[in-house]
Structures are given as structure tokens and as C-alpha cells.
Amino acid sequence: MMARADQILSRLFTVTGFAALGVAGYLYLFAPPSGPALEIEAVELELNDSVPGQQREVAFHFHNRSGKPMRLLGLSEC
């Protein structure tokens, strides 16, 4: 009886190990790259119709690698 339980547990752990290796290999090969999806070094925006002391909200719309829209807000002062 004990030998049968050992055999069942051995097969169970072997199958589980191979499945874990398969999942790890799949994630290693097909996972999206890590790191920022969008990098912006510098943005220069010139607004010619503003008056001194006026504040504006500037919105940038981007689409990142995940496909979801992303909105960055910044405040500009003249």
C-alpha cells in the first residue's frame, strides 16, 4: 500500500514539475518586455496666444504598449 502511494506521489510531483517548467519557459519566451512602455525625455510646447500670468492645463494623449490609452497632465504657466 505504501509503495503505491509513493508511486502516485512521485508521478504527481513529476508532472507538476514539468508543468512548472513549461509555464516558466512560456513566460520567458512570450512575456512582454519589462520596463517603461513610454519614455519622454523632453517636451517643448509654444503657446503664442497666451497672456503673462495665465495658467493652462496641457494634456498629452498617448497609447502605450498595453493598448490602453494613457493621459499625462501638466500645468503650464506663462
Q: What is the pLDDT of residues 22-66, one digit of tens each?
A: 999 998 888 776 666 666 666 666 666 667 777 766 666 666 666
pLDDT value of position 37: 60
pLDDT value of position 1: 64
Based on the structure, what is the number of domains in the chain? 2
Task: Specify whether 45 is located in the same domain as 21.
Answer: no
CA distance 74 to 60: 8
Alpha carbon separation from 45 to 2, 32, 33, 42 (Å, rounded): 76, 32, 31, 10
Task: Specify whether 54 is located in the same domain as 74.
Answer: yes
Task: Specify whether 25 is located in the same domain as 55.
Answer: no
Provide the strand spans (E) within the chain.
Answer: 55-63, 69-77
Task: Specify whether 44 is located in the same domain as 74.
Answer: yes
Task: Specify whether 19 is located in the same domain as 45.
Answer: no
pLDDT value of position 17: 94
> Containing domain of residue 60, as a range?
40-78
Task: Specify whether 16 is located in the same domain as 49.
Answer: no
pLDDT value of position 34: 67
* pLDDT at residue 21 tops 80: yes
Task: Specify whether 54 is located in the same domain as 76.
Answer: yes
